[in-house]
Amino acid sequence: MEIHIVTDAVERAGVVADVFVRTLQESVGSGTVLGLATGSSPVPAYTELIRRHREEGLSFAGVRAFLLDEYVGLPPGHEQSYHRFIRENFTSHVDIDDSAVLSPDGSAADPAAEAAAYDRRITEAGGVDLQILGIGSNGHIAFNEPGSSLASRTRVVGLTRRTIADNARFFENSEDVPVRALSQGLGTIREARRIVLTATGEGKAEAVAQLAEGAISARWPATSLQLHPDVTVVVDEAAASRLELADYYRYARGLEHSGPVAPHS
C-alpha cells in the first residue's frame, strides 16, 4: 500500500487525480473502465479532474464507468440516488456519456438477480482499471459493512445503524435513508487492477489505521485491500492521526524523489 499523508484538500485532490491520469494514459485506446464512488471524500478529486478536462484538455473519451453501489428502492434518476450523484458531481461535466455510466438498478424488481447481473456486467466489460474508494467510519468500503465476507460479490446488503446515521446528512429526514443497498462485494472490488482510496477527518482515523496496519478481518472490511498489489491511500493529517507508521510513510514518499542510494553526508 502506498500511503500519502497530505496537508490540504488541493494536494489530496491532485494526488488522486494524478492516479486517474496515469491510468487513462496507460490504457489509452483500449477504453479505460473506471470504478466510481459516491460520498463526499472523492468529490474534490472529481472537481480537479473536471478542471483538468476544461483547462488542460484531459479527455475521458471512450471511458466506461461502473458505480460501486446504489440504495435499494431508489431509481437511477432519484435525487438521492448514487447514479444521479455521480452525474452531478463528475461525469456530466466531462466527456463521459451518460449511457457509459452504469450502476446497479436500485429499483429492480428482483434486487438479488440485479446484483448478480451487475457483477457479470463488470467482468464482461473486461474488469475495472481504476477503482476510487472512500471509507466508512466503521471501515466499510462501498456498502460492505463489518462482517462482510472478504470474498463477497455484488449483492444486497443491510446497512448498519451507524452507516444510516452517517449518511442521513444527505437526506431531508433521517427516516428517508434507505436501509438496504446493492453493493459490489469485497472480492469484486479487489478485482480492479488499481485502487485509490481517499479519506479525511478524525472520524475516519481509526478506520484508516485498521485499513493500513490492522489485521485482515471482516471486522474492518477495508483491511481486505491489504491483499491487493496496487493500492494508493491518500489521507489528510486528521485521518492519518492514528497511523503508527505515519513517519515511515512520509519518509518513503520522500525517497521516491531521491536517487538509489543515500547521499554522503
Query: What are the residue numbers of the active site?
Result: 69, 138, 140, 145
Q: Determine which residue in the list 40, 110, 147, 158 makes contact with ligand GLP, applying CB under 6 A.
A: 40
State the minimum distance, in angstroms, from the CB of residue 60 to ligand GLP.
21
Which range binds ligand GLP by CB under 6 A, 38-46, 58-66, 218-226, 238-246? 38-46
Residue 58 or 90 having the CB closest to ligand GLP: 90
Does residue 143 touch ligand GLP according to CB under 6 A? yes
Q: Determine which residue in the list 35, 104, 134, 139 makes contact with ligand GLP, applying CB under 6 A.
A: 134
State the minimum distance, in angstroms, from the CB of residue 134 to ligand GLP.
3
Question: Among all chains, which residue has been given the C-alpha cell 457509459?
Answer: 100
Does residue 41 touch ligand GLP according to CB under 6 A? yes
Q: Determine which residue in the list 6, 19, 50, 68 makes contact with ligand GLP, applying CB under 6 A.
A: 68
Residues 6+ apart with CB under 8 A from 172: none
Which range binds ligand GLP by CB under 6 A, 34-42, 53-61, 123-131, 184-192? 34-42
Task: Give, in order, the Cα–Cα distances in Å from 191 to each of 36, 60, 144, 204, 220.
Answer: 14, 22, 15, 24, 19
Which range binds ligand GLP by CB under 6 A, 123-131, 133-141, 149-157, 238-246? 133-141
Number of residues that bind ligand GLP (CB under 6 A): 14
Does residue 136 touch ligand GLP according to CB under 6 A? yes
Does residue 142 touch ligand GLP according to CB under 6 A? yes
Buried b (16+ CB within 10 A) or exposed e, 216-226: eebebbbbbbe
For binding to ligand GLP (CB under 6 A), which residues are involved? 37-41, 68-69, 134-136, 142-143, 163, 167
